[in-house]
Structure 1
Amino acid sequence: MTTLPALESEIVTLPTPRLSLRARAEQDEVRFILAVFVDLNGKPCAKLVPVSAADELEAGELGFAGFAAGLIGQRPQDADLIAVPDLDSYAPIPFVREGLAIVHCDPYVNGAPWPYAPRVILKRALGELAARGLTGKVGAEVEYFLVDRDEDGRLTTADSRDEGARSCYDARGVTRMFDHLAAVSDAMNALGWANYANDHEDAPGQFEQNFKYAEALVTADRVITLRYLIGMLAEQRGMTATFMPKPFTDRSGNGLHFHLSLWKGDSPAFPASDDTRGLGLSPLAYSFVGGVLEHAPALQLFLAPSVNSYKRRGATTSASGATWSPKHATYGGNDRTHFIRVPDSNRIELRAGDGSANPYLALAAVIFAGLGGIDARTDPGDPCGPGESRETSAALPRTLLHAVQALRDDSVLLDAVNGGQDIGEYFAAAKEDEFLSWHNTVTGWEIDQYLTAF
């Protein structure tokens, strides 16, 4: 802060001028800035901007052909998407390339935030929270496989010694991948994310690296950044990192679990000391849970938005004996088989998301659903007891096409996601096309099953 003397020895405090993007980059000896936004599928789109042009980037002069960028609600004839950087998200990433930084951007069109941009959609959901005096904080568990592809294109684990049905938490597997895991951990800590664990996950070749929870928008930015970092650092070591929900038929798949809490000012809004249901939650928390459960089938289109998602969700088992993917919209205490787990009174864990989920879109949809529950004071019913599945609860969609229909049938969630546009319908139509494209492709399974069967 800058201070100036005033009359009668009073001190007047003036705010320190905020550094421009260019000044920050030059201070950090950055040469290029990766200006990033994602489409509705979560694909990171970027331009590599030299620091000499950082002022133009900050002024909103960096344009993209939106239709070419991906699924983001544009036609070929539409005006450019303009990437407007959020300076709070700026970070040097020299561990990827010396002299490189990243900044997350909000796409604008004709001077206004583009409503189909996932980051803009999440900001709208957070605005709805703020209108009720609430903020959201989120932690994320990002799971991934490290793989190689042989000459026939077949996937194998990058660590050829990582095998066996029960490899979760295997100390040897973690140690053999030490260089990669340590590089990712060091990167997270250099960025101030507070990495606190790096695990071998359930399947051979599968890992998870965790960072401390933060404001919802910050965590969504970090999930996108982390996927990029993991992918780039894996490539530096000749491996491929995949967040694909189910890359191997006989192994558990990649989840993207969110730990979500609501706050009023500096105080958490979920805990309560007089909860008769035993989870330590407040009426507000139960109403939020009730809204999420009520809209759970439709939410799956945002939490599990790929054809491959439903091979993970629909699996009956895996080599380890568990799939870790819920099939019904249930909730309970510290039980990882539920759609919503309540590990303690401060938060809930959403366990139905997978590695193909767009964190901005998934969190926005969950917040809209939960707010609907708060507004309606929805009662989720009693939680399931330990090991209780309660299959009378709503079944989650069996395929991507079922998830599309679930959203179309859920007018409340659809309207909330639409936000006065046709965002939900647009996304549902794109996912229906994705399903039909897969469905119309003849696979090896069909050849084996039908070639000489008739």
Structure 2
Amino acid sequence: MATLDDLRNVIRSCPVIDNHAHNLLLPSKQEAYDLLSATTEAHGDALSDTHTSLSHIRAVRQLRELYDLRNDANWDDLMQKRADILQGNFESFLQRCFVGIHTILMDDGLDDTTVYLYDWHDDFILDKTLRVVRIETVAADILREMYKKGSLPIGPAVLNDDMCAQAWVTFLQAFESTIVTEINNPDVAGFKSVICYRTGLGVKIAGDVQVAANSLEAFQADYLPNCSQNDFRIESKGLNDSLVISTCRLLTAAAKQDSISKPLQFHTGLGDADIDLLLADPSNLQPLISAFPHVQMILLHTSYPYMRQAGYLATVYKNVYLDLGEVFPQVSRNGQETILRQCMEVTPISKLLFSTDAHHFGEVYWLALKQFRQAFERILVEYVREDDLTVEQAIDAAKDIYFNNANRVYNLRAELPDMATSELPRRTRAQSNREARIMQVPQPLQLPWNEPQPPDNPYDQEVFTIFSESVPNLKFVYVQWLDYLATIRVRILPIAEFRRLVTEGERISIARGNTGTLQNDHVTSAVRSVGQLYVEPDVLSMRRTHSRDPLASATVMASFCDEDGRRSVHCPRNNLRTLTDRILDNHGITLEVGFEIEVVFLKKDSDGQYTAWTTNHAWGTFSPEQFETALPVLAEIADALASIGISIQQFHSESGPGQYEFVLPPMHIVEAVDTLLQARQVVQQIAHLHKLRATLHPVPLNGVGSGQHVHISLNSSTLSVEDLARKESSFFAGVLEQLPALCAFLLPNDASYARVVENMWTSGVWVAWGTQNREVPLRKVKPGRWEVRCLDGFANPYLALSALLAAGLSGIEADKQMMLKDCTVNPASLTKAQREELGITTRMPGTLEEALEELDTNEVLKRIMNHGLTDDYVIMKKAEKEMLDEMDDNKRYTWLIEKY
């Protein structure tokens, strides 16, 4: 039997569908908007009085918690901390703001160039963001385009009735066509009207002829004479009414003919000084509600202060629902509880929907959900104690209002996660660009003490709690990191100790000298005998291990911090995070990468020699030997990967005996490398259980080249298509210019250079690029997507990607032009003169020694990546080479096979 504690747990932790919210501002635009507006609709001079409102005073107290500030911190302290976040930890901060949100239905018609696109927000929530199309914005955009094309009758032409009528017909056809397109758009959950702000909710219902006459009259007499002066804002009674009526007719037709039901939201009640409060009473909508019974209508913002009117409409009309948003956090605590009680006086629970109405700031999402949960808990517990509801009924009410009602009304077909076993939230751009630095001008990477002071506890407690509850028998955690030489290092912690570490904000201390040792623990001159590093597990990268693991365990990737919690310059993973942040913050570019894991499966013969696992074998084949021998193991690997949340796109045989490829999906860059390492471990562990060695050696058998190809795409939510294409060209121009030095990271062993040959479909021997050309190191797959082919499994992928980003940044910041021409043939088939015509004049390094010399003298890469890291890397690679050179060929071959 459920208890009040069970009820409280549901109220406090149930994932929510936010049925109405808005886009976040870009970091560069945050300071132009006042966070005071989070708790009020006041603007201008009236905003200054907000400091004395109960809603603001309460928000200050709660924001101290979000910002990790002391209890006596005032508003100025909060604003200073917020400025620090904008300059240092913005996206990881946002991850905290969105905890608990499953789906967002986003009205993205509020702003355009100042905000992130709707789907950018996917990265912070459990599922995805869907659009709510604002019909007045659609109409304004169409009219703006008509004006640009000279097809709106402006000036004296307004007196020409025929021209105005034709323009109206053209506009209405374009508007209705757009609405129909959006009805059929799977990314659109519904529609919204802000007619409340423009001409009020009293939509005039009439016959078709009268509606047409009213709309044309308003279009000609009221709208056209002033449209170019008011930025095409639509606020003429007949015109606004017509847009709502047209939308309702189209939604009705879709519901009847195509069984597509998409609701229409109405702003009601609470609004800024631009609204006529009397016309914001939802009672004015009653004729429209009656006229269109097949259109589901959502009354937004609790219709404050008209909660009872809205609740009555939602009670007596099947097609009306009441949204419980905006009053959180814009009303006092007592007011919020009163509003909820009034909304629930007569309104069926099945008609109530939750929303944040958050806009511009991540803090509003956090405050709205936190305050709603607090008020909702107080009310439902009271109803249970007063015998108005049983505990079970109250739990169902919470789940319905948080999730089920919106899921049903908007036809989302989502599943409410089981709060006892729900999966870890999807990994995010905030997790890929953790603690992003918001730099306003390009600048060289400096030491991390320029960053804002890190929080006392770096771990996301809620994410860890959700994960640990989803793995109830968890006993151990593998805390793992990748050293300079691509060796996985690990500390295994019992879950109790790991939980204590996360709860108390501690890190694992290791000697600074550990970063300078070889794979056999031999020390190099990069070893420092003094100093500590602190291993910080990234709980956002946690995965349960596969079922064949002997321990009930999880794995988590980690980074290095200094004693004060700042990113260490000696950490390959943090180096990649920092460079990823820099390219986003300075240039508005995010990167997605997808890896191809090429692996050769070997078995030992009776003499202890490694031989190919399958030999009746070619690229893309499926021979009986492969069916009987390989498929069960490959399928077990694929299943094991899927069981820990790594869904491969495909796997298939490659061209060499025993060689197979597993293709990982594209992800944000740090997440992609974390996933690559966790996936490779699964491949090698499952293979080992079958007495096989799955090796990443670049040439494990004669004639078999094995790489670690990576696909890179540059994306932006802020740049135009043209600007992004120009920066993309500069990025890869920088990569090609620095490629000889990059090889020190991409091809980091003498054995790697057995692939730097002609006619082998590896990377070729020339610095070049070509569209769909597999005999060059850089293949252009299509606009926006490139493949780096000169990367192998010996590389530390954090360092390899860092080096590529550093080279790309050098190209962007210097606005380099792509001087090399598209090479669409095998460079080996060209004469010297033909290569020179394409700009192909530089050969790839032929040995590791050559590549290290190129890196050692490359001040561009060393400056951007950090001198200390690159210098230590060169020292260690030279020491490793010396160690390997002392071995004979057979011993060195076996050693590398068994290490990689």
- Taking the aligned partners of 1:265 and 1:41, their CA distance within structure 2 comes to 36
If the length of structure 2 is used for normalisation, what is the TM-score? 0.44
CA distance in structure 2 between the partners assigned to 1:442 and 1:242 by the alignment: 20
| 1:336 counterpart = 2:767 | no
CA distance in 1, matches of 2:644, 2:878: 38
Q: 1:96 to 1:415 in 2, by over 3 A?
A: farther
Deviation at 1:440, TM superposition (A): 4.3
User: 2:880 aligned to 427, 434, 440, which one?
Assistant: 434
Given the alignment of the two structures, is residue 282 of structure 1 paired with residue 725 of structure 2, yes or no?
A: yes
Query: In 2 relative to 1, CA 239–69 (structure 1 residues): closer, same or farther, beyond 3 Å?
Result: farther
- Name the residue aligned to 2:542: 90
Name which of structure 1's ranges 74-83 and 12-21 shifts more when overlaid on structure 2. 12-21
Q: Report deviation, 1:193.
A: 3.3
1:246-325 aligned at under 5 Å gives the runs 246-248=699-701, 250-265=702-717, 282-314=725-757, 322-325=760-763
Give the structure 1 partner of residue 369 of structure 2: 14
8 A Cα contact 1:56 1:62, kept in partner: no
State, as a whole percentage, how many aligned pairs show the same letter: 24
Deviation at residue 293 of structure 1 after TM alignment: 0.3
Number of matched pairs: 424
Where 1:171 maps in the other structure, the secondary structure is coil
How far apart are 1:385 and its partner, in Å?
A: 2.3
Aligned letter for 1:386? V
Q: Is the 8 A contact 2:577 2:670 kept in 1?
A: yes
Q: How far does the alpha carbon of each residue in 1:90-129 deviate from its partner, in whole angstroms, 9 at most, with x for none?
A: 1112334252211111122313322111101101111211
Indicate the residue corresponding to 1:359 in structure 2: 797
Native 8 Å contact 1:148 1:156 kept in 2 = yes
Q: 1:212 Cα shift?
A: 0.9
Structure 1 residue aligned with 2:677: 224
Q: Report deviation, 1:64.
A: 3.0
Tell me if the contact between 2:730 and 2:812 (Cα under 8 Å) persists in the aligned partners. Answer: yes
Closer, same or farther: CA 123–152 of 1 in aligned 2, 3 Å:
same
**1:387-429 deviation per Cα after TM superposition (whole angstroms, max 9, x unaligned):** 34537332111001000011122211122122xx421121112
User: Secondary structure at 1:354's aligned position in 2?
Assistant: coil
Structure 2 counterpart of 1:397, which letter? P
User: Given that residues 417 and 424 in structure 1 are in contact (C-alpha distance below 8 angstroms), is that contact kept between their aligned partners in structure 2?
Assistant: yes
CA positional deviation for 1:70: 5.5
| Aligned counterpart, 1:155 | 610
Q: Does structure 2 conserve the Cα–Cα contact (< 8 Å) formed by 1:84 and 1:105? A: yes
Distance 1:38 1:443, change over 3 A: closer
Is 217-226 or 180-189 further displaced after alignment? Answer: 180-189
Cα displacement (A) at 1:152: 3.9
Instruction: Tell me which structure has the larger Cα radius of gyration.
Output: 2
After the TM superposition, which of the residue ranges 3-12 and 29-38 deviates more from structure 2?
A: 3-12
Greater mean alpha carbon deviation, residues 83-92 or residues 322-331: 322-331
Distance in 2, Cα, partners of 1:260 & 1:238? 35
One-letter amino acid of the structure 1 residue matched with residue 815 of structure 2: R
Answer yes or no: is 1:201 the counterpart of 2:654: yes
Counterpart-to-counterpart distance in 2, 1:368 and 1:254: 25
Residue in structure 1 matched with residue 665 of structure 2 by the alignment: 212
Unaligned runs of 5+ in 1: 275-280, 446-454
Work out whether residues 761 and 774 of structure 2, in 8 Å CA contact, stay in contact via their aligned partners in 1: no
Residue 61 (structure 1) shift: 3.5
Q: Alpha carbons of 1:168 and 1:377: their partners in 2 closer, same or farther (altered >3 Å)?
A: same
Contact 1:32 1:48 in 2 (8 A): yes
- Quickly say closer, same or farther: Cα 1:311–1:385, change in 2 above 3 A: closer
Q: Which moved more, 1:427-436 or 1:112-121?
A: 427-436
1:327 to 749, 765, 772: 765
The CA deviation at 1:201 is 0.9
Amino acid at match of 1:329: V
For 1:385, what is the secondary structure of its paired residue? Answer: coil
Matches within 5 A, 1:22-421: 24-29=467-472, 30-58=474-502, 59-68=505-514, 71=517, 75=527, 77-97=529-549, 99-111=552-564, 112-131=566-585, 132-159=587-614, 162-163=615-616, 167-172=618-623, 174-175=626-627, 176-248=629-701, 250-265=702-717, 282-314=725-757, 322-381=760-819, 382-388=821-827, 390=835, 392-418=840-866, 421=867
Deviations 1:271-318 (A, max 9, x none): 66x9xxxxxx9222211110000000000011111121112224x56x
CA deviation vs aligned residue, 1:176-224 (integer Å, no higher than 9, x gap):
3112211221233233333121011110011110121000000010111
Contact 2:696 2:794 in 1 (8 A): yes
Moved more, 295-304 or 426-435: 426-435
CA–CA distance in 2 between the matches of 1:184 and 1:444? 30
- The question of whether the paired residues in 2 share the 8 Å contact of 1:122 and 1:363 is answered with yes
Matching residue of 2:185? none
User: Hey, what does 1:425 align to over in structure 2?
Assistant: 871
TM-score norm. by structure 1 comes to: 0.85
Letter in 2 for 1:342: K
Q: Distance in 1 between matches of 2:826 and 2:662?
A: 27
Separation (CA, whole Å) in 1 of partners of 2:873 and 2:606: 36
Q: Which amino acid aligns with 2:853?
A: Q
In the superposition, relative to structure 1, how do residues 163 and 67 fare at CA in structure 2: closer, same or farther (>3 Å)? farther
Letter in 2 for 1:170: T
CA distance in 1, matches of 2:490, 2:681: 12
Corresponding position of 1:448: none
After superposing on structure 2, the runs of 4+ consecutive aligned residues of structure 1 that deviate more than 6 Å are none
RMSD: 2.8
Q: Give the partner amino acid of 1:141.
A: E
Shift of 1:232: 0.6
2-structure distance, mates of 1:70, 1:151: 38
User: Structure 1 pair 145/329, CA: closer, same or farther in 2 (3 Å)?
Assistant: same
Counterpart CA distance in 2 for 1:292 and 1:235 is: 37
Q: Which has the higher contact order (CA 8 A, sep 6+)?
A: 1
Q: Which amino acid aligns with 2:547?
A: F
- Give the CA deviation at 1:63: 2.6
Q: Using a 3 Å threshold, how does the CA distance of structure 1 residues 443 and 339 change in structure 2: closer, same or farther?
A: closer
2:543–2:645: 8 Å Cα contact kept in structure 1? no
The 3 A distance-change label for structure 1 pair 343 and 102 is: same
Contact 2:516 2:527 in 1 (8 A): no
Counterpart-to-counterpart distance in 1, 2:517 and 2:786: 30
Change (3 A) 1:71 1:323: farther
- In structure 2, the gaps of 5 or more residues are 1-15, 17-99, 101-323, 329-335, 344-354, 357-367, 374-459, 519-524, 829-834, 892-900
Moved more, 381-390 or 302-311: 381-390
**Could you say which residue in structure 2 is the equivalent of 1:452?**
none
The answer (yes or no) to whether the contact 1:60–1:83 under 8 Å persists in 2 is no
The residue matched to 1:405 in structure 2 has which SS? helix
- Select between 65-74 and 107-116 the one with higher mean Cα deviation: 65-74
Q: Secondary structure, in 3 states, of the residue corresponding to 1:337?
A: coil
Q: How far apart, in 2, do the equivalents of 1:440 and 1:369 lie?
A: 34
- Decide whether aligned partners of structure 1 residues 242 and 443 sit closer, same or farther in structure 2, where only a CA change above 3 A counts: closer
8 Å CA contact retained: 2:517, 2:527:
no
Which amino acid in structure 2 is aligned with residue 340 of structure 1? L
Tell me the CA shift for residue 174 of structure 1. 4.3
Cα shift readout 1:324-368 (whole Å, capped 9, x = no counterpart): 232111111111111111111131111110111111111111011
Taking the aligned partners of 2:603 and 2:515, their CA distance within structure 1 comes to 28
Bigger proportion of residues as helix: 2
Distance in structure 2 (CA, Å) of the matches to 1:186 and 1:171: 19
Distance in 2 separating the partners of 1:394 and 1:57: 51
Change (3 A) 1:181 1:442: closer
1:451 is matched with which residue? none
